[in-house]
């Protein structure tokens, strides 16, 4: 039972990280990118390639994974978001990010293969560890690290304050001389970093798998919708809640309906409390 | 079911608009007739069975895409769940006609009804959600259906899949089957075309362009969305049943998420808010990887790249490109009305002014 809870917490941490990445991108661009999960997938695959295939030290693997996911985050903004937002057609960003996500997923599938490959261990194997195994606490630690770093960044640095200004009111921020386009690009790079750290830390749990992106995109979004769009604490709570729920449900009912349970949670929240646990109700401007 | 008898009177502007210029009604009638004759006689001049199989595949895909086009192209709802509705139709047909031995046409109709029911049940909660939320809900639905197909192995055969029976006597040959699916495809096209050029179509386009504005002018937003979605569920399931019968064996892997992407691209590439564009898109995109072998190897990567290119470069679809080209080749003459000042009258008016 302890293993079930710890697995749930670890998966929940991963979902929470995805929800945080959504939040960072959403705050500056008001876009929910379908490529969010693929950032995590790319990080895991890149690290598995560097450490597992090329036999490099794990620190180089981490750096490589971070670089790849950061570049991909930036690429998302440059390729799929910038032009579409400039044209300001409402739904097109969904199609462009979906297209980019498919391209990346299939490219990884073609290059890396479509089978899940195990991720190399970072610390020497300890079979007695049980639920205290590194594959469980690493993602949890990574998410704690990401959350603290994000909070410090937003509250303590000038650049973080600029981010908040842009997310509150992009026009006013622009009027005060902030290059909102550059801030938006930077937010996608930060989302890439989040995905890089969390994807690397969780890769022992998820394996390096090309189709991980799509399910993480969906589950991260469920965590976000449960917690409340735009709220970082909501993202954490929603992610952990979702992870625990699916893990416990898998324990009792078997793994066949994992996604169904997650989606049931999403639907229940969207129908009963559409703004999420920590989101604030906003009157829509007409 | 003859599309030619329902052409428009000359004065009426078709709602299926877009701004691409339309041919003269008489010419359109002739074009439609030629197209129908070509379709009907295809088995006699098609090269071999493989080409005929391809044509039948295009027709089955088109039955789904035509319904999805109403959802995506006209109403502007981004549904990622139609591949699941396709799977539901195929499995419903396989189970009813195969396992339970129902007559194929009854099973086909039942599959359509089940698909419509699934569309209705899926649409009821999720159509209330705005853009991205709706897309994610439908994406989740397609994943749930995938899980269900794998988990319920007594019903669906699990990962091993199910054989799908063929249709009865006149339709058991490839040629007969081709006529069946093409007839259905023409019927669906006629149905959707009728819908789009009447008030319904205008209401859908109004919803797509601004839901708030449409609702404030009395368009019953939710009702229209739900009806359109239910209809597309029926066409998707019928397409799925025919697709399954054409493939003769289905597994959950047949209905991967990227197949849903493919339907999307067919619509986006052709142009939103038209019927001919997505039709051409479906034909070209289904046939292209079969004809050009390297593209088949790249598979979904190619479709993703194509979607990205279309969204970024010509978001209005190929249809708009034709319009632009036509404008380049035959610039529509600006009717100039020369306004020449009538100086004599002006002078007269000025002269009269002081006396008045």
Question: Across-strand partners of B163?
Answer: B249
Yes or no, beta carbons of A99 and B135 under 8 Å apart: no
Is the model's pLDDT at B167 over the cut of 90? no
pLDDT in tens, chain A (286 residues): 888 899 899 999 999 999 999 999 998 988 889 999 999 999 999 999 999 888 888 889 999 999 999 999 999 999 989 888 888 666 788 889 999 999 999 999 989 888 888 888 777 666 666 677 788 888 899 999 999 999 999 999 999 999 999 988 888 999 998 999 899 999 999 999 999 999 999 888 888 888 888 889 999 999 999 998 888 899 999 999 999 999 998 888 877 788 888 888 888 888 888 778 887 666 554 4
Integer Cα distance of B292 and B273 in angstroms: 29
DSSP state of B160: G
Q: How many CA atoms lie within 13 A of B172 on its CB side?
A: 3
Condensed to tens digits (0 to 9), the pLDDT of residues B76-87 reads 888 888 999 999
Residue B238 has a pLDDT of 95
- What value of ipTM does the predicted structure carry? 0.84
Residue B355 has a pLDDT of 58
Confidence category of residue B239, pLDDT binned at 50, 70, 90: very high
Cβ–Cβ contact A84 with B under 8 A: yes
Residue A70 has a pLDDT of 96
C-alpha dihedral (B227, B231, B233, B238), degrees to nearest 10: 170
Cβ contacts of B74 on chain A, cutoff 8 Å = none
Is the model's pLDDT at B136 over the cut of 80? yes
Residue B119 has a pLDDT of 94
Residue B242 has a pLDDT of 94
Label the pairing between strands B162-163 and B249-250.
antiparallel
Cβ–Cβ contact A272 with B under 8 A: no
Condensed to tens digits (0 to 9), the pLDDT of residues B2-12 reads 433 343 343 33
Condensed to tens digits (0 to 9), the pLDDT of residues B258-267 reads 888 888 888 8
Integer Cα distance of B99 and A97 in angstroms: 41
Residue B18 has a pLDDT of 42
Condensed to tens digits (0 to 9), the pLDDT of residues B295-325 reads 777 878 888 888 888 888 887 777 677 777 8
How large is the average pLDDT for residues B132-136?
87
Confidence category of residue B14, pLDDT binned at 50, 70, 90: very low
Which chain A residue's Cα is nearest to B313? Answer: A83
CB of B145 within 8 A of CB of A268? no
What phi and psi values does residue A259 have, to the nearest 5 degrees? Answer: -65, -35
| Three-state secondary structure call for residue B13 | coil
Query: Taking the CB of residue B342, how many other CB atoms lie within 10 A of it?
Result: 10
**Number of A–B residue contacts, CB under 8 Å:** 106
Yes or no, beta carbons of B305 and A32 under 8 Å apart: no
Cβ–Cβ contact B295 with A under 8 A: no
| Three-state secondary structure call for residue B162 | strand
Residue B356 has a pLDDT of 52
Q: Which residues of A73-89 are buried (b: 16+ CB within 10 A; e: fewer)?
A: bbbbbebbbbbbbeeee
Angstroms from B9 CA to nearest CA on chain A: 34
| Three-state secondary structure call for residue B258 | helix
Cβ–Cβ contact B248 with A under 8 A: no
Residue A42 has a pLDDT of 94
Which has the closest alpha carbon to A32: B130, B302, B258, B126?
Answer: B130
Residue B1 has a pLDDT of 37
Cβ-in-10-Å burial (0-12, 13-18, 19+) of A16 comes to buried
* Better-predicted residue by pLDDT, B335 or B292: B292
Touching A: B residues 48-87, CB under 8 Å: 76, 78, 80
* Better-predicted residue by pLDDT, B319 or B30: B30
Q: Which of A89, A92, A98 to mutate to test the interface with B (most CBs of B within 10 A)?
A: A98
Q: How many CA atoms lie within 13 A of B320 on its CB side?
A: 13
Residue A101 has a pLDDT of 93
Percent of all residues in chain B with a pLDDT value above 70, rounded to a whole number: 90
Residue B354 has a pLDDT of 65
B42: Cβ–Cβ under 8 A, 6 or more apart, which residues? B52, B55, B178, B182
């Amino acid at each position: 039972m302890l293993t079930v809870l710890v697995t749930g917490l670890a998966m929940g941490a991963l979902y929470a990280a995805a929800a945080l990445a959504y939040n960072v991108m959403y705050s500056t661009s008001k876009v929910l990118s379908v490529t969010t999960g693929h950032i995590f997938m790319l990080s895991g695959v890149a690290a598995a390639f560097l450490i597992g295939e090329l036999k490099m030290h794990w620190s180089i693997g981490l750096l490589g994974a971070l670089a790849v996911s950061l570049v991909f985050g930036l690429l998302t903004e440059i390729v799929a978001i910038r032009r579409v937002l400039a044209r300001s057609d409402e739904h097109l960003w969904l199609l462009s990010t979906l297209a980019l996500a498919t391209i990346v997923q299939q490219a990884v599938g073609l290059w890396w293969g479509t089978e899940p490959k195990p991720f190399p261990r970072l610390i020497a194997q300890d079979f007695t560890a049980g639920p205290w195994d590194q594959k469980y606490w690493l993602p949890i630690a990574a998410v704690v690290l990401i959350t603290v770093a994000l909070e410090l960044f937003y509250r303590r640095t000038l650049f973080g304050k600029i981010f908040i200004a842009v997310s509150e009111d992009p026009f006013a921020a622009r009027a005060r001389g902030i290059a909102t386009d550059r801030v938006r690009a930077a937010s996608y790079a930060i989302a890439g970093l989040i995905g890089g750290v969390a994807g690397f830390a969780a890769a022992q749990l998820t394996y390096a798998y090309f189709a991980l992106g799509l399910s993480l995109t969906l589950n991260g979004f469920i965590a976000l919708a449960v917690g409340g769009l735009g709220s970082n604490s909501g993202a954490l709570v929603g992610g952990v809640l979702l992870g625990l729920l699916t893990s416990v449900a898998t324990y009792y009912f078997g793994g066949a309906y994992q996604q169904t349970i997650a989606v049931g949670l999403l639907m229940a929240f969207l129908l009963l409390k559409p703004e999420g646990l920590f989101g604030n109700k906003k009157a829509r401007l007409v | 079911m003859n599309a030619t008898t329902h052409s428009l009177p000359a004065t009426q502007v078709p709602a299926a608009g877009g701004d691409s210029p339309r041919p003269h009604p008489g010419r359109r009638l002739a074009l439609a007739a030629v197209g129908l004759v070509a379709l009907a006689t295809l088995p006699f001049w098609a090269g071999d069975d493989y080409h005929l199989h391809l044509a039948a595949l295009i027709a089955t895909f088109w039955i789904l895409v035509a319904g999805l086009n109403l959802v995506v192209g006209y109403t502007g709802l981004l549904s990622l769940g139609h591949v699941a509705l396709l799977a539901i139709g195929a499995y419903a047909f396989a189970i009813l006609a195969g396992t339970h031995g129902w007559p194929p046409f009854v099973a086909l109709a039942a599959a359509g009804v089940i698909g419509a029911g699934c569309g209705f049940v899926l649409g009821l909660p999720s159509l209330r959600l705005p853009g991205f939320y709706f897309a994610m809900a439908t994406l989740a639905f397609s994943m749930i259906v995938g899980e269900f197909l794998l988990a319920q192995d007594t019903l669906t055969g699990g990962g091993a899949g199910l054989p799908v029976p063929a249709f009865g006597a006149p339709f058991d040959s490839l040629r007969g089957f081709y006529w069946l699916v093409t007839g259905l495809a023409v019927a669906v096209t006629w149905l959707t075309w009728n819908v789009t050029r009447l008030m319904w179509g205008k209401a859908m386009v109004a919803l797509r362009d601004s839901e708030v504005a449409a609702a404030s002018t009395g368009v019953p937003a939710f009702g229209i969305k739900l009806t359109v979605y239910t209809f597309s569920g029926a066409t998707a399931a019928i397409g799925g049943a025919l697709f399954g019968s054409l493939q003769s064996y289905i597994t959950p892997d047949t209905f991967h998420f990227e197949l849903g992407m493919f339907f999307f691209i067919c619509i986006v590439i052709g142009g939103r808010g038209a019927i001919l564009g997505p039709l051409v898109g479906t034909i070209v995109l289904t046939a292209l990887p079969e004809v050009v072998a390297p593209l088949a190897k790249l598979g979904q990567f190619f479709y993703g790249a194509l979607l990205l290119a279309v969204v970024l470069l010509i978001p209005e679809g190929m249809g708009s490109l034709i319009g632009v080209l036509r404008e380049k080749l035959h610039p529509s003459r600006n009717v100039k009305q020369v306004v020449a000042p009538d100086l004599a009258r002006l002078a007269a008016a000025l002269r009269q002014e002081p006396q008045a």
